[in-house]
Structure formats: C-alpha cells, structure tokens
Amino acid sequence: MLRNLKDLQGYALRTTDGDVGSIKDFYFDDDRWVVRYLIVETGSWLQSRKVLISPHAIGRPDEAAHVLPVSTTREQVRNSPDIDTDKPVSRQHEADYLGYYGYAPYWDSVGIWGAGALPGMMLPEAGMAPPAALSGVGVLETERALAAEQAAQHADDDPHLRSCKDVTGYHIKAQDGEIGHVQGFIVDEADWAIRYLVIDTSNWWAGHQVLVAPGWIQEVSWAENTVSVNMTRAAIESAPEWDPTLPPDRAQETEIYRHYDRTGYW
C-alpha cells in the first residue's frame, strides 16, 4: 500500500510496554530513495529527547487511533544512542544504532535493506519470541561487529540521509525551467521505498499536484534547494492530477507511467 508520509506525522509510537512519543520527521536515503529512520520526539518522559526508530521495528499502523506500533521496549528506546537531528547523521552513528538493536547494516548490499528484501515490518505474532536484539537479553554481537567494521571502512562516506521536512519546499527544475516545489513524499509501506515525490505546481496554475518518481530525478542540489527532473515543464503540466485525499492505486500509477512513457517499477 502507498501512503503519504505527511499522514504519519504526529502518530504516537507505541512500544511493547507503552507510548514513547510521536513522529516528527523522517530520514530518507537519497541514493536508494528509501526511508531509513523515523525521528520521534519522546516528550516529557525522556526530557523531550529525539530518537531514531528503524522500519525494521515497525508494525501495522492503527489509523483510527493514529498509533504506530514498534517491537521495542521503552527501556531500549531510553538507552539507544543519542542523536542530534540538527546535524548530519554520520556513518558511525548509524553503525552504533544498528549494532545496538542488532540490525544488519545496509550500505554494502545490493538490496535496499541489506540481505533481506524488506525491513521487519510485522511485529512478532502472539506466542512467538521476539528477535534476540529486541527481547532484552542483549544485541546480536555479530551484527554489532559487522556494523562497526563496515562503518570503519566507510567512515568518510556521505550517508546520503536527508530530512523529509527539510526537502519539502525544494523547487522543481524541469529541462526548460522551474515548475513548482516538493510538497510531500509517497512511500510504499512494504519496504519503505519512496515511490513518488508530490509536486505542487500551483505557482503556475491553481491547485494542481502531480507525482514524480525518484528514478526520473537527475540531481538534488542541497546548496540550491532544488530538485532537477529529466522532463519538460509541458510534460509535468499535462501529467495526471493527483488527489491528495486518496492514495494512488495501481491504475493511477499505470496512467502516470504511461503519460511519461516510462516502465513501471512493479
């Protein structure tokens, strides 16, 4: 299922033994275009500290209650590595975080989630023991060692992590000029891959929003706050209009890809 990330902002994060705060933002990987971490404001119980939560731990959203369950405990969140969300996330911090929870590092793998095709989307079923890293008996030492080793090898890398909130508002540059700005992100709940950027073109005509896939992006300039796309203004202007009150279905996606004469990812 595809979901607008804006719809998840403000959702409460519910661990196995209570709530820990609410979602404030997301870090995405602009190399593979996938959400790597949720940024959670913990509130008064942890002195309003910000923490990272990986999609590895996330279960099915409770849309009625605006709750996102995670397969960790409050104590694990309390003791997780500190993060300053006002600064770039280093590879070493990622290694510390992944090692703490026993998650495999992803940056030396062909797949977007390391050896596995998907993060741990589902919570353990009733009666099943959670993974060792989440059960309170300690992290997986082999994963910790692997993460530390690979972090050392890639210490000088740019982790490619960007804040969705920061990129929202970036100007869109088509082949023949600017046309709109980034309004949001559409993510696939199965693997947390970003399938589309929501582009608001109301700078040129009233109320029109369209979707552009990350694969059609040529460059993201963090210095100029722009996203350059490999298409013309006319192609974007005539693209199927997106209704922000409805998640795009496969029929709509097919229409979008057909309009741009591109091959569907599915």
User: CATH code at 194?
Assistant: 3.90.50.10
- Which residue, of 147, 162, 177, is where some domain finishes? 162
Average pLDDT (148-155) is 58
What pLDDT sits at residue 34? Answer: 95
Average pLDDT (122-145) is 47
What pLDDT sits at residue 126? Answer: 40
Same structural domain, 172 and 158:
no
Residue that wins the pLDDT comparison between 247 and 214: 214
Average pLDDT (82-111) is 83
Same structural domain, 156 and 174:
no
Nearest to 36 by CA among 92, 94, 117, 102: 94
Same structural domain, 157 and 180:
no
Same structural domain, 174 and 146:
no
Same structural domain, 140 and 156:
yes
Residue that wins the pLDDT comparison between 114 and 69: 69
Lowest mean pLDDT among 55-59, 103-107, 190-194: 103-107
* 103 confidence band (pLDDT: 50, 70, 90): confident
Same structural domain, 30 and 145:
yes
The runs of H, that is alpha helices, within the chain are 74-78, 91-101, 141-153, 164-167, 233-237, 250-259
**Residue 261 pLDDT > 90:** yes
What pLDDT sits at residue 75? Answer: 94
Query: Considering the domain boundaries, does residue 100 fall inside one?
Result: yes
Average pLDDT (115-121) is 67
Average pLDDT (234-252) is 90
- Which residue, of 162, 197, 218, is where some domain finishes? 162
Average pLDDT (142-151) is 58
Query: Considering the domain boundaries, does residue 264 fall inside one?
Result: no
Same structural domain, 158 and 181:
no
pLDDT tens digit string along 11-29?
999 999 999 999 999 999 9
What pLDDT sits at residue 112? Answer: 87
Instruction: Give the mean pLDDT of the chain.
Output: 84
Same structural domain, 158 and 187:
no
* 127 confidence band (pLDDT: 50, 70, 90): very low
- C-alpha span between 218 and 22 (Å, rounded): 34
- C-alpha span between 89 and 28 (Å, rounded): 11
pLDDT tens digit string along 204-242?
666 689 999 999 999 999 889 999 999 999 999 899 999
- C-alpha span between 31 and 9 (Å, rounded): 23
Average pLDDT (110-118) is 75
Question: What does pTM read for this prediction?
Answer: 0.85
What pLDDT sits at residue 6? Answer: 93
Residue numbers of the domain that contains 13: 2-162
**Do 248 and 193 form a contact (C-beta atoms < 8 A)?**
no
- Which residue, of 132, 162, 192, is where some domain finishes? 162
**Do 240 and 257 form a contact (C-beta atoms < 8 A)?**
no
In percent, the amount of the chain with pLDDT more than 70 equals: 82
CATH of the domain at 100: 2.30.30.240
Average pLDDT (144-153) is 59
Query: Considering the domain boundaries, does residue 265 fall inside one?
Result: no
Lowest mean pLDDT among 17-21, 75-79, 119-123, 217-221: 119-123
